């Protein structure tokens, strides 16, 4: 992990130190087979994302980052693939990019905590 963190610091000298350690830890925890597939270009894909999501049986809170701030899920895609079965809650976090939890915890917690409380109460 130290070597990975060191390389991240070298590649991104303007990043705060804690980011390199956090990213290194995240990389070490990743599934090696998934990483091999990604680097080999053999990522299995789901031809029917809406069908795949519809098979999820537990409650889901999808926090959608703002596409104008770097979010990767456009509104029309979310509307197309997220099931309307009552198990899914979608909340778009305006102004937040891909790393909502790290960049905007003040916007995240007021959404997540009430959702968790409601799920717990069921």
pLDDT digits (tens, 9 = 90+) for 18-71: 888 888 888 888 888 877 887 787 766 667 889 889 999 999 999 999 999 888
Q: 94 and 58: one domain?
A: yes
What is the biggest distance separating any 2 CA atoms in the chain, rounded to whole angstroms?
A: 48
pLDDT at residue 62, rounded to an integer: 96
Q: 54 and 111: one domain?
A: yes
Q: Is the pLDDT of residue 104 over 90?
A: no
Q: Which domain holds residue 68?
A: 49-121
Q: 86 and 112: one domain?
A: yes
For the chain, percent helix, then strand, then coil, each to nearest 5?
55, 10, 35
Q: H or E stretch including 113?
A: helix 105-121
Q: 58 and 105: one domain?
A: yes
Question: Count of domains in the chain?
Answer: 2
Cβ within 8 Å of residue 121, ≥6 positions away: none
The number of CA neighbours under 13 Å toward the Cβ of 82 is 19
pTM above 0.95, yes or no: no
Instruction: Give bridge partners of residue 88 from the DSSP assignment.
Output: 60
């Amino acid at each position: 992990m130290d070597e990975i963190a060191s390389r991240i610091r070298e590649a991104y000298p303007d990043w705060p130190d804690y980011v390199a350690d956090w990213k290194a830890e995240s990389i070490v925890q990743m599934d090696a087979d998934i990483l091999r597939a990604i680097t080999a270009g053999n990522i299995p894909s789901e031809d029917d994302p809406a069908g795949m999501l519809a098979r999820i049986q537990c409650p889901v809170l999808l926090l959608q980052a703002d596409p104008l701030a770097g979010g990767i899920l456009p509104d029309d895609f979310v509307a197309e693939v997220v099931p309307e079965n009552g198990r899914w809650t979608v909340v778009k976090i305006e102004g937040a990019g891909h790393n909502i939890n790290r960049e905007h915890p003040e916007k995240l917690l007021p959404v997540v905590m009430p959702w968790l409380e409601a799920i717990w109460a069921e």
